[in-house]
């Protein structure tokens, strides 16, 4: 297993009704990626879907993928594609559950948002991860 330094939270920047298959198709067909962007995606109903083995390197944050596991919730934008933290309660609960599980496996990993990496100019995951972790006493 590779050394994991980061557990990175993302949003898909799509409507909450977007399917995982259409997101994966976009990565492959439009972006030309061989590997997906996230290891896990969380549907609006809270279902956690493992979309890529954590042993493999995903395309979540340019320059930081080797030491990272990427977790995205489906959503993160409003009807006009503006950033919006529209996580459902089920998605938040699933994020917490998954982060707890991953922290047991990788206790020194830093939980952070995509936007918190250097030279990243996007709102992803559409909320402040550090503030949220404090609010939930994580």
Active-site residue among 28, 100, 105, 122? 122
Active-site residue among 6, 10, 43, 73? 10
Active-site residue among 6, 38, 39, 43? 38
Active-site residue among 39, 43, 70, 114? 114
44 and 90 Cβ atoms separated by less than 8 Å: yes
- Concerning whether 10 is annotated as a catalytic residue, the answer is yes
Count the residues in the chain. Answer: 138
Q: How many CA atoms lie within 13 A of 126 on its CB side?
A: 18
- Concerning whether 114 is annotated as a catalytic residue, the answer is yes
Distance CA 105, CA 128 (A): 24
Q: What is the dihedral of CA 85, 90, 94, 97, to 10 degrees?
A: 120
Active-site residue among 6, 11, 70, 124? 124
105 and 87 Cβ atoms separated by less than 8 Å: no
Place of tokens 């956690």: 48
Report, as residue numbers or ranges, the catalytic residues: 10, 38, 114, 122, 124
């Amino acid at each position: 297993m590779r050394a994991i330094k980061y557990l990175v939270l993302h949003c898909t920047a799509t409507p909450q009704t977007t399917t995982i298959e259409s997101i994966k198709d976009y990565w492959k067909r439009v972006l030309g990626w061989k590997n997906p962007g996230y290891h896990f995606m969380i549907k609006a109903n809270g279902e956690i879907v493992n979309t890529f083995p954590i042993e493999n390197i995903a395309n979540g944050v340019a320059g930081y993928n080797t030491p990272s596991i990427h977790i995205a919730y489906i959503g993160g934008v409003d009807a006009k594609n503006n950033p919006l933290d529209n996580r459902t309660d089920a998605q938040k609960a699933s994020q917490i559950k998954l982060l707890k599980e991953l922290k047991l496996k990788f206790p020194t990993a830093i939980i952070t948002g995509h936007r918190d990496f250097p030279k990243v100019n996007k709102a992803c995951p559409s909320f402040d991860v550090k503030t949220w972790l404090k609010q939930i006493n994580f």
